[in-house]
Chains A and B, each alone.
Chain A
């Protein structure tokens, strides 16, 4: 990446002084805050850019998201319907079908492009659910845990035991049983993954929240009469946010992998194909007949996306958590 980010050029230097807006405009608290945030973002971007692996991940991720968004432009959706497929089924890569065809004669590339949509959709939505639950449980538990009153300790304890339970129960069997009982559809898969993958986040957020709780400014807020909600929302949450963000990115990798596993095992929604569905279909219909590309294509795509999310996530973590720097 050679082009400098917009933030850096306007800030033009280091230190808090550089964050001040050009002279001549009146200083208001809002302006100040905005300028400060802008500078922080610029600093963050500079740090992030230094992480080469993180940048690779970001580029791959950007490409994948672009492909998913541009699917209707890149590949005609008619290609998804086998009745319009005229190519030989299970044929290898050719100029016409770069990745060959599946057992219906559909282009594997078309399936891959459209599969990206559903796979990423599941990944992001499930992560969102997981993050919401994880952040809520983590912040509430952390905040209650720091209260002296017995009720607070009890809340913290109950929430953490529930979290432990979700941490200990093996993910796959639980997800499979849930997916099986509720029924096979994309929505259910999203829900199941979201409901089973929040425990780790909750733990991390709680630890950070407990640390934040001991800081003097929270004591000050309490002294000024801030309620629980205000403390959690205005003071704890913003301070666990960076950690939550890094964790989110890492979780997306996990949820995409989880969706792939469930779909591969036949618990997904065959009506809205994802990469996992493709893997499952290729495994049962393509491998036996030697159509390896059909299996490899979604496999590599999943690995690439998961890898990209992991790299970006770790880079974010390193930037946001100074303790991890230099690793």
Chain B
């Protein structure tokens, strides 16, 4: 799926553009000054009016959901609009949101959705099945911007019809489990029917009418956005009255803003800054495993979809032995320790372990652990003899690889000399070149690269991530400028493609089994060296706010910026205030009990920490037990 997969990439790209604008030196101060102003209005004195300010290096670009591309864009769309379902806070299964229940025919080709009664748009117009049907009709038009944007969800849908005031029937080409998790913002027909296809991309949508828990109060593109709680929200009024997303170009400024109270939540801090916030009074740090991984990607033999070789990749990398040797030569735990300061986990397969249902863990005997001697043995056996200057060669050709270093990513820059050092140590020459993200994207599409470090954000539905490695995702078009597909390794294996199509018609344990088989195939063929899964490092003012609903529901779950989910926003409330509408307010029954109790007690920080830790451990234990049963039933249900 486009959006969340493109998130980390675009996130980094956006960070780079900031510098390009020449604002880098000036804006940190501006941003830091702007935040308190936004906060002036309601102080946390009254429990009824409270402003929660989130700092992020990313910002909302546009309020038109078909134009959005930054991670922050999607964070806000999910608050303004409702989807039919949410990804469950506990295990990412489809849970009711606008749709209260749904079922499908025996052949799996006809799906019936029952829409929630009594929901109103923020302009007072009632939300009915007609709006839902309209949204999907708009999204499935062939060759439209809408379809391109939401294809991962609506690609199989052929029709959507409102058969009653609160009933929608959709037909699909083939059975697909995605119909249980339709994360597509439902739009008001009475607004959007006036937006023609021609004017869609220029439609600013600055005063969006939605049905979500928040409405837009003021918006400045790429700077900040202020949202007001929607008092008529069907799930109950959110616990905070105002929600502000403030952009910071400088992470150090963001950290200071959190400490001086200009912001209440800091998203995506660098590991070093995040670590320096540990133990600060009133601040709680979260080191949450997320659906992200970074990989050392190889050019496995660039070609177009029709199989025509393109580009100038080093043919040595088409040899699986060379790729294996590289994987054995790299000491990933060292990178995790020194670059990520422990806020990452060494990686194996392409589906991160937070998706327990789908993550494949290779057996210890087959895992690529750091073993330079083994790497050298593999290369020697493969005919690569050590040449002069410590660079191996075969048939007179030197084993020297170009290495694109993304200068917009501080981590990639820091990791580059490590990779270079380890590969040189086993006789593989490395020529690092500094490159911008846009330049590298073009080079990948044209097959003009050997290797690079980049990453993916994997969403709960693994379909898109698995599709990246299919033959059909290779480049299209003709020389000299090819249109890139999503493939950045040019891996192509008919057996893999077959499994990919097979999993599309399955759900539950059967699908998970096929997905794991595909991951195993990828792990063995090694088109990528998955380096590590990096965590989302967040911090928030636990002395001011409480009531988060982490996903998954653990103390180290994601508090905000969850995987295509928005649980916490509906439940956050000023510390000390009582939970409002908890029974009614969807998701809030899962808020982290331990945090609530400790903050409400208002005792000294260290003591709170101790108690909280103890409670968390107990709660986590209980929850794990409960969860075991829950996942089991969830699997059977699907």
Contacts and interface: CB of A to CB of B under 8 A. Distances in A.
Contacts of A172: 22
B270 A284 contact: yes
B436 A284 contact: no
Contacts of A97: none
Contact of A269 (B339, B422, B434): B434
| Interface secondary structure of B, over-half rule | helix
A185 B338 contact: no
B275 interface: yes
Contact of A184 (B273, B422, B425, B434): B434
Contacts of A265: 19, 24-25
A10 interface: no
B218 interface: no
A31 B414 CA distance: 59
Given A83-B334, A271-B416, A271-B432, A289 B275 contact: yes
A82 B407 contact: no
Contacts of B252: 283-284, 287-288
Nearest to A280: B410
Residue from B16, B272, B275, B422 whose CB has the most chain A CB atoms within 10 Å? B272
B435 interface: yes
B413 interface: yes
Contacts of A290: 276
B417 interface: yes
B192 interface: no
A268 B436 CA distance: 11
Contact of A183 (B410, B418, B421, B436): B436
Interface residues of A, number: 33
B102 to A, nearest CB: 48
B421 A176 contact: no
Interface in B456-489: none
Interface string A75-104: 000001111100001000000000000011
Nearest to A180: B20
A80 B22 contact: no
A83 B422 contact: yes
A105 interface: yes
Nearest to A284: B410
Interface string B413-437: 1101110111001000000111110
On chain B, which size bracket covers the interface?
35 or more
B19 A266 contact: yes
Contacts of B433: 185, 271
Contact of B272 (A84, A268, A271, A285): A285
B230 interface: no
Given A105-B338, A184-B434, A184-B436, A284 B251 contact: yes
B420 A81 contact: yes
A81 B421 contact: yes
B439 interface: yes
A270 B421 contact: no
Nearest to A105: B338
A81 B331 CA distance: 14
Contacts, number: 93
B24 A183 contact: no
Contacts of A216: none
Given A103-B272, A289-B275, A84 B421 contact: yes
A173 interface: yes
B39 interface: no
A83 B421 contact: yes
A82 B435 contact: no
B101 interface: no
Interface string A50-93: 00000000000000000000000000000011111000010000
Contact of B405 (A266, A270, A284): A270
A173 B22 contact: yes
A271 B405 contact: yes
A185 B20 contact: no
B276 A289 contact: yes
Contacts of B422: 83
Interface string B375-405: 0000000000000000000000000000001
A267 interface: yes
A82 B416 CA distance: 10
A172 B19 CA distance: 12
B405 A83 contact: no
B41 to A, nearest CB: 30
B116 to A, nearest CB: 46
A172 B22 CA distance: 8
B408 interface: yes
B413 A270 contact: yes
Nearest to A283: B252
Residue from B339, B417, B433 whose CB has the most chain A CB atoms within 10 Å? B417
A288 B255 contact: yes
Interface in B136-189: none
Contacts of B417: 80-83, 104
Contacts of B275: 289
Residue from B251, B436, B439 whose CB has the most chain A CB atoms within 10 Å? B436
Nearest to A291: B272
B421 A184 contact: no
Interface in B325-346: 331, 334, 338-339
Nearest to B431: A271
Contacts of A285: 270, 272, 410, 414
Contacts of A105: 338
A82 B276 contact: no
A198 to B, nearest CB: 21
Contacts of B22: 172-173, 176-177
Nearest to B21: A176
A259 to B, nearest CB: 14
Interface string B262-283: 0000000010110110000000
A288 B421 contact: no
Interface string A108-134: 000000000000000000000000000
B272 A82 contact: no
Contacts of B270: 284-285, 288
Given A284-B410, A285-B270, A289-B276, A266 B421 contact: no
A266 B420 contact: no
B416 A89 contact: no
Contact of B414 (A104, A267, A287, A289): A104
Nearest to B433: A271
B436 A89 contact: no
A82 B436 contact: no
Contacts of B19: 176, 180, 265-267
Interface in A243-268: 265-268
Contact of A270 (B25, B272, B434, B439): B434
Contacts of B339: 104
Nearest to A270: B413
Contacts of B408: 266
Nearest to B432: A271
Given A183-B434, A286-B272, 7 more contacts: A81-B418, A266-B408, A271-B405, A284-B251, A284-B252, A285-B414, A289-B272
28 contacts: A81-B421, A82-B338, A82-B418, A83-B422, A104-B338, A172-B22, A173-B22, A176-B19, A177-B22, A183-B436, A184-B407, A184-B434, A270-B407, A270-B413, A270-B416, A270-B434, A271-B405, A271-B433, A281-B414, A283-B252, A285-B270, A286-B272, A287-B252, A288-B252, A288-B272, A288-B273, A289-B276, A290-B276
The 8 closest A-B pairs by CB, nearest first: A83-B421, A81-B421, A270-B413, A271-B432, A184-B434, A288-B273, A173-B22, A180-B20
Interface of A: 80-84, 89, 103-105, 172-173, 176-177, 180, 183-185, 265-271, 281, 283-290
